[in-house]
Structure 1
Amino acid sequence: MTDAAALLADLVAIPSVCRMPNGAIVDLVRDHLARHGVEAAMLPGPEGDRANLFATIGPRDVPGIVLSGHLDVVPAGEGWSGDPFTLRQIGDRLVGRGAVDMKGFVACLLALVPEMVRAPLSRPIHLALSYDEEVGCVGVRHMIARLPELCSAPVACLVGEPSEMRPVLRHKGKVAGRLTVRGRAGHSSRPDLADNAVHLAADIVGLVRSLHEGYARQGPFHSQFEPAASTLQVGIIAGGTGVNVVPDACRVEWEARAVPGTDPMTIHDALQAGVSDLVAPLRAAGRAVAVESEVLSLYPALDLPDDAPLRDLAEAWSGRPALGAVSYGTEAGLFQAAGIPSIICGPGHIAEAHRPDESIGRADLEECCAMLRRVIAHQS
């Protein structure tokens, strides 16, 4: 077996930060696959400088399983004890940006490629590696759209996000947006001659809070989650240039997490309707106000039934009992929405993700490789 830790070091060394070109890491993975006789399809996205990778090992004309991961990482930020893009070992931990989220899983996939190639697979294993997952599962949408031309309809998808190797059945969906509030600037001594964009933005923040409290009171509820209802919150509000100037613009960025069974866009639409109700009487009164809306990210919930056959398979592969739900989101909901039963199961702990000195244990990689060997055996 190619050493997963060595492959992880190669992957971490490439700073494949989201929203940036990813040609270097795509080439690294393609070259590794090619050395073992596996041809990978490079699937460029509309951005022009980023691509997904999709490869099939085994027969192409029968349904198989997708093993899914993303190649991008969040920016390193401050607080690291060393170079974020040089994998270091501290005790039994491997430290580097993306070590757990989720280049550790990708390294295990690549390490097991020689064994996949040698195995007498009767059903294919598909490797699906995406870009810009960290900013709203952007790249995988284009890859899923092209699956019909790449392979027979898959029967299952396993997304290797960090779950301590416990299969995860559910996560909430998400929509995030930006509202740009426009007003009319003026001198603070005559606010009656201006239209204060921050004041209108404050009303919108109150609307977000009111919608959140409504879901908390009335549901719908899903007992597997904490909190059990859909949620809304404002994460950023920015506007104004000085206390003596009536501001003519203010930016409000918000996010909603929707329980399974609730389309995240219904929450978006409810917020938009409330904003329209705030703006309409102001404009009717001649006020120079407007609100521009933009969706920043969107993905559906994952909701695999408790009695789904994939649950039993994933428990057998991982050797761990399933977990009903997690609070973070993944690409699994998009695969499920495309008609592919999907589950999350990957090495490491999600608490390590997106933090300085992000790390994964060597034992985590070994456990993931053991699971992948059971997947290979199942497909043979």
Structure 2
Amino acid sequence: MTVIAILKDLIAVPSVVGTPNAAIVETIRAILNAAGARVRVLPGPEGDRFNLFATIGPAMVPGYVLSGHMDVVPATEPEWTSDPFQMRADGDCFYGRGTSDMKGFIAAALAALPAITAAPLARPIHFAFTYDEEAGCQGAPHLLPHLPSACAPPMGVIVGEPSGLRAIRAHKGKAAARLTIRGRAGHSSRPDQGLNAIHAMTDALTAAVVQAERLTHGPMDSVFEPPYSSLQVGTLQGGRAVNIIPDHCTAEFEARAIAGVNPSTLLEPVRQAAERLEAQGFAVDWTETSSYPALSLPARSPLARLLEELTGQEPLAAVSYGTEAGLYQTAGMDAIICGPGDISRAHRPNEHIRLDELHACQSMIEALAARCRL
């Protein structure tokens, strides 16, 4: 199958984050099985979502992992000019949800299978495809524990997020949390008889603003933009009517951490401010909704040098968005980002990828396989 035919089939499966994904797993599994790959389908704790891990070549020899996520963000924007789950061609551009982020990479990897299997590999090529990356890397942590029994420690992991096929060595980590405060409702004319949850939330909001300002003073890492960790309040909801004392309020907080900083610790001042409200009679629910570590690969690491040779471009030092690459590195594997398409097209209406980008990625993977025969 050509890369375009494979991508068309992948786009036709609306594997939206947070929904069952057996259909997209089966689509990919069938292609890998037909090529002779050894495939494992690994259920997550949700029961209706699955990771997939496959190998071509000698599994217990160190090789390389091609990593991607199978889920996509929703495509509800009214600006779409065609069905986002029916790939549309316009010249050499192909439109559809997930074309760049990141079914284009998966399609290129699968299209390279004939070249990968054309001759025996001395080092294996592995395929690691996960679920619910768009919800804060929910699937990958359930895949990683299976790797020690599935393969030898790999020489490197290539995470195919859209990067213009230029390798990226570092990204920030992230932690997000949801805070719900519950007070006591009542008529607004008698504030003495209620507990105003929105008023109480201001303590946590103030702590977030203070922490955000504090982070601008360091620590610093100049490879990132901005060069410091950050924190923000992303959503705020509460109350029922202007004349009712609000008995509930919910806010979501997000922290982005430079390499070497645990993103969850950045949220601690907010959590502590919220917990102090319990002494005033409020019920407090703090839930960390996602967390993944930063990535930091040295410039002269063998994996960075390999990607420079395969792409013909020096790797970029860093980006500020996050990927699953930091999870692989934390698990003891060198990881790097490199995939077709552009991140600026992701999560937008009329997402697209170009034919030359897909062919370049396929060629890169085929060149990697050729090296694995040496």
| Separation in 2, partners of 1:295, 1:378 | 42
Identity value in percent: 50
Tell me if structure 2 keeps the 8 A contact 1:59–1:121: yes
Match of residue 308, structure 1, among 301, 312, 323: 301
- Counterpart in the other structure of 1:228: 227
SS in 1 for 2:249: strand
SS across alignment from 1:118: coil
List structure 1 segments (4+ residues) > 6 angstroms apart after TM superposition: none
Structure-2 separation of matches of 1:241 and 1:61: 60
Superposition map of 1:140-219 within 5 A: 140-217=140-217, 219=218
Question: Counterpart of 2:112 in 1: which secondary structure?
Answer: helix
The Cα of 1:155 is off from its aligned counterpart by 1.7
Q: Which amino acid aligns with 1:353?
A: A
Q: Does 1:294 pair with 2:287?
A: yes
1:255-306 alpha-carbon deviations (Å, 9 max, x no partner): 00000010112113232223334x26xx2xxx32132100111100001112
Is 1:365 aligned with 2:364? no
- For 2:368, the aligned partner's letter is V
CA distance in 2, matches of 1:163, 1:108: 14
Residue 32 (structure 2) aligns with: 33
**What letter matches 1:184 in structure 2?**
R
Deviation for aligned residue 1:35: 1.4
Q: Note the residue ranges of structure 2 that are not aligned, 5 or more in a row.
A: none
Secondary structure in structure 1 of the residue aligned to 2:213: helix
Aligned counterpart, 1:260: 259
Q: Structure 2 CA distance, aligned partners of 1:378 and 1:334?
A: 26
Query: What is the alpha-carbon distance in structure 2 between the residues aligned to residue 295 and residue 156 of structure 1?
Result: 30
Q: Secondary structure at the match of 2:116?
A: helix
Taking the aligned partners of 1:173 and 1:31, their CA distance within structure 2 comes to: 34
SS at match of 1:30: helix
Letter in 1 for 2:223: Q
Deviation at 1:37, TM superposition (A): 1.7
> Is the contact between residue 155 and residue 303 of structure 2 (CA under 8 Å) also seen in structure 1?
no
Q: Which amino acid aligns with 1:92?
A: D
- What amino acid does structure 1 have at the position aligned with 2:327? L
* CA deviation after TM superposition for structure 1 residue 90, in Å: 1.9
TM-score (norm 2): 0.97
Please give the secondary structure, in 2, of the residue aligned with 1:181.
Answer: strand
8 Å contact 1:159–1:346 — kept in the other structure?
A: yes
SS of residue matched to 1:127 = strand
Aligned-partner SS, 2:216: helix
Counterpart of 1:354 (choices 323, 333, 347) is 347
Q: Cα distance, 1:313 vs. partner?
A: 0.5
Kept in 2: contact 1:30–1:39 (CA 8 A)? no
User: 1:191, 1:91 → 2: CA distance?
Assistant: 64
Q: Are the equivalent residues in 1 in contact too, given 2:229–2:256 (CA < 8 A)?
A: yes
Match of 1:139 in 2: 139
Whole-Å separation in 1 of the counterparts to 2:274 and 2:91 = 53
Deviation at 1:38, TM superposition (A): 1.7
**Aligned residue number for residue 73 of structure 1:** 72
Deviation of 1:24 after TM superposition, in Å, equals 0.8
What CA distance in whole angstroms lies between the structure 2 residues aligned with 1:120 and 1:288?
68
Check whether the contact 1:198–1:240 (CA below 8 A) recurs between aligned residues.
Answer: yes
Mapped to 1, the partners of 2:269 and 2:291 lie a distance apart of 15
Given that 1:184 and 1:288 are in contact with CA atoms closer than 8 Å, whether structure 2 keeps it comes out as no
Q: Structure 1 stretch 132-141 or stretch 331-340: which is displaced more? A: 132-141
Could you tell me which amino acid in structure 1 is paired with residue 82 of structure 2?
A: G
**Following the alignment from structure 2 to structure 1, what is the Cα–Cα distance between the partners of residues 325 and 60?**
23
Counterpart for residue 8 of structure 2: 9
TM-score by length of 1: 0.96
Question: Deviations 1:300-345 (Å, cap 9, x if unpaired)?
Answer: 0001112212111111111222111112110000000000000000
Q: Which amino acid aligns with 2:321?
A: Y
Q: Which amino acid aligns with 1:11?
A: L
Q: Partners of 2:299 and 2:268 in 1: how far apart? A: 31
Partner of 1:101: 101
1:331 aligns with 2:330: no
Give the Cα–Cα distance (whole angstroms) in 2 for the partners of residues 48 and 119 of structure 1. 38
Task: Give the SS at the match of 1:119.
Answer: coil
Q: State how far apart, in whole Å, the 1-side matches of 2:221 and 2:20 are.
A: 39
CA positional deviation for 1:370: 1.4
Aligned to 2:56: 57
Q: 1:108 corresponds to which letter in structure 2?
A: A
Quote the Cα distance in structure 1 between the aligned partners of 2:223 and 2:192: 51
